Amino acid sequence: MPTLRNGKSTATESSAANGHTKHASDKEQLVILGSGWAGYAVMQKVDRSRYHVTMISPVEYFVFTPLLSGAAVGTNDFNSVVEPEYHQAYARKVDFKRKTIECSPAIGSEIRKQELNRRIDDDSDDAIKPAVSYPGQKLYTIDYDKLIIAVGCGTATFGIEGAEAHSFMLKTADDAQKIRTRILECFEIASQPTLTAKERRDILHFAVVGGGPTGVEFAGELHDFLTGDLEKAYPSLRPLAQMYAESVAHKTDWRLTLPFYSTIYDVAPGVLQGFDKSLSEFAAEKFKRQGVAIKCESHITRVCEDHLEIEEEGDVPFGMLVWNTGLAANPFIDSIKDLKKDEKTHVLRITNRLNVMTEKDEVYGDVFCLGDCSALEKKAPPTGQTASQQAEWLAKNLNALVHGSAPPKPFKFRNHGNMTYLGDFTAIIDRSSDVEGPEGSLTGKTAWLLWRSAYLYKSLSFRNQVSLVYHWLCTWIAGRRVSRF
């Protein structure tokens, strides 16, 4: 198995005799695993004239997750949420004694899917045998002097049968694209003349499982797309829906006045449980008026191709299901056996200088972990806010090490509050307790404007900011694109 000393640029220097690559550079080798909020931000801020930085990630771009819900319904363009970067591979294993990482290339989405599964199931390989073959698809090893683990988390499905197979997750730009395609497909299917009114209603039911900020924000964006754009693009569906409404017993059900409907399901007693109670009630009331049903204390027992099985309701058909119920540890983190993990979430426990440690509390000073795949002793929420604060701290710390300046004080999370979009130009901002600066909360259009401005400001590159403003303006003036291309 070849060993690359300095990542991609030195691959061609690999010696056939021993499969090892050495680089003349005397810079420290800084290897970053993951190109998400945490990894990407460290890469941007670390002094690259003093570190040789190699980023390893299965996706060749940075996904700005707060804009994914918008991308899934076409409010903004996919290019707005991605930013170019490096070395397309999965980290598979790490040897902390030898300071090496084993990587497997992740080129193309099929390979990425296959690799992800293989990493969990197969521990015995020295060659990759993918369904689709590309040159250079061999495992290789990269040396590091300093390692940053920022591989994020997956989506938890709590072992519910069929959840992974039959629902859409919203984690990557690929996911957003698939969701958008499926929504449009549902409308095309519903427009076929051979469908019964009931079949039409079923295919136009959009289910969202998970009433946290991500699920709620997606439901808000979906509402805008359904009522603002698709209703106009498919006027024929409205009378059909009304016919259906008349044909069912519950004529007063508010959902039956709309040609399609969406529902948020959650096991909790309400949506947005992490927000102030007044704000979660505001959100629930707003959704009700918008025609988005909220079904709390719903226990999903099974997910089938076209329906949910719910303990309280029986079978509930859907055209599309988006699953958003919290975090599951990344398989790479699962594969690490010799480090201390959080008992509940199984992510890596870290010190307040973001270093990992063994079960015996022996700290690895050259290995850092941050973002969703890490847990501080004094817990910080697994959000982009935490990940970017940690990234900023770590870049400062790494720069101080090579510049010989004073290291920053230990990391401390500063809560700037939570916000989420509810659809219909309305957002909520929660700064009600435990926040840096003035406390308070905000709802409505002003909150929406602040929500948009914050994400525009945080969009990392000027190119993305211009692209976002352009797409938001287009959407506002002319509506979203309703074609699948």
Ligand X SMILES: Cc1cc2nc3c(=O)[nH]c(=O)nc-3n(C[C@H](O)[C@H](O)[C@H](O)COP(=O)(O)OP(=O)(O)OC[C@H]3O[C@@H](n4cnc5c(N)ncnc54)[C@H](O)[C@@H]3O)c2cc1C
Question: Which residues of the chain form contacts with ligand X (CB under 6 A)?
Answer: 33-39, 56-59, 65-66, 68-69, 90-91, 150-152, 170-171, 214, 330, 332, 371-373, 382-385, 387
CB of 77 to ligand X, least distance (A): 16
Question: What's the length of the chain?
Answer: 485
3-class DSSP state of 365: strand
CB of 176 to ligand X, least distance (A): 8
Cβ-Cβ contacts under 8 Å for 79 (sequence gap 6 or more): 464, 467
CB of 290 to ligand X, least distance (A): 20
Give 70 or 259: the residue with its C-beta nearer to ligand X: 70
Using Cβ positions, the residue closest to ligand X within the complex turns out to be 36
Give 241 or 380: the residue with its C-beta nearer to ligand X: 380
358 in Cβ contact with 385 (< 8 Å) = no
CB of 85 to ligand X, least distance (A): 9
CB of 374 to ligand X, least distance (A): 8
398 in Cβ contact with 30 (< 8 Å) = yes
Using only C-alpha atoms, the chain has a radius of gyration, in whole angstroms, of 24
403-418 burial, b at 16+ Cβ within 10 Å, e below that, comes to: eeeeeeeebebebebb
Specify the long-range contacts of residues 226-233, CB closer than 8 Å, at least 24 apart. 226/260, 226/262, 227/258, 227/290, 227/291, 228/479, 228/480, 229/74, 229/479, 229/480, 229/482, 230/183, 230/187, 230/260, 230/482, 231/259, 232/479, 233/187, 233/482
CB of 105 to ligand X, least distance (A): 11
Give 45 or 238: the residue with its C-beta nearer to ligand X: 45
Give 139 or 150: the residue with its C-beta nearer to ligand X: 150
CA distance 354 to 371: 10
Give 255 or 452: the residue with its C-beta nearer to ligand X: 452
CB of 384 to ligand X, least distance (A): 3
Give 259 or 331: the residue with its C-beta nearer to ligand X: 331
Q: Which amino acid is at 424?
A: D
CA distance 28 to 400: 14
| Helices within 314-357 (DSSP H only) | 331-335
Looking up tokens 């700037």 gives: 416
Give 147 or 316: the residue with its C-beta nearer to ligand X: 147
CB of 387 to ligand X, least distance (A): 4
280 in Cβ contact with 270 (< 8 Å) = yes
Give 27 or 452: the residue with its C-beta nearer to ligand X: 452
CA distance 30 to 145: 6
Other beta carbons less than 10 A from residue 177's beta carbon: 14
Looking up tokens 């698709």 gives: 230
Give 7 or 66: the residue with its C-beta nearer to ligand X: 66
| Helices within 105-260 (DSSP H only) | 109-121, 163-166, 173-190, 197-203, 213-225, 231-233, 237-247
Give the CA dihedral 407, 64, 266, 442, nearest 10 degrees: 80
Give 65 or 76: the residue with its C-beta nearer to ligand X: 65
208 in Cβ contact with 322 (< 8 Å) = yes
Percent of the chain that is helix, strand, coil (3-state, to 5) = 35, 25, 40
CB of 324 to ligand X, least distance (A): 7
CB of 33 to ligand X, least distance (A): 4
CB of 174 to ligand X, least distance (A): 10
Strand 327-329 versus strand 261-265 pairing type: unpaired
Tokens of 167: 């629902």
Give 34 or 105: the residue with its C-beta nearer to ligand X: 34
Give 57 or 475: the residue with its C-beta nearer to ligand X: 57
CB of 267 to ligand X, least distance (A): 19
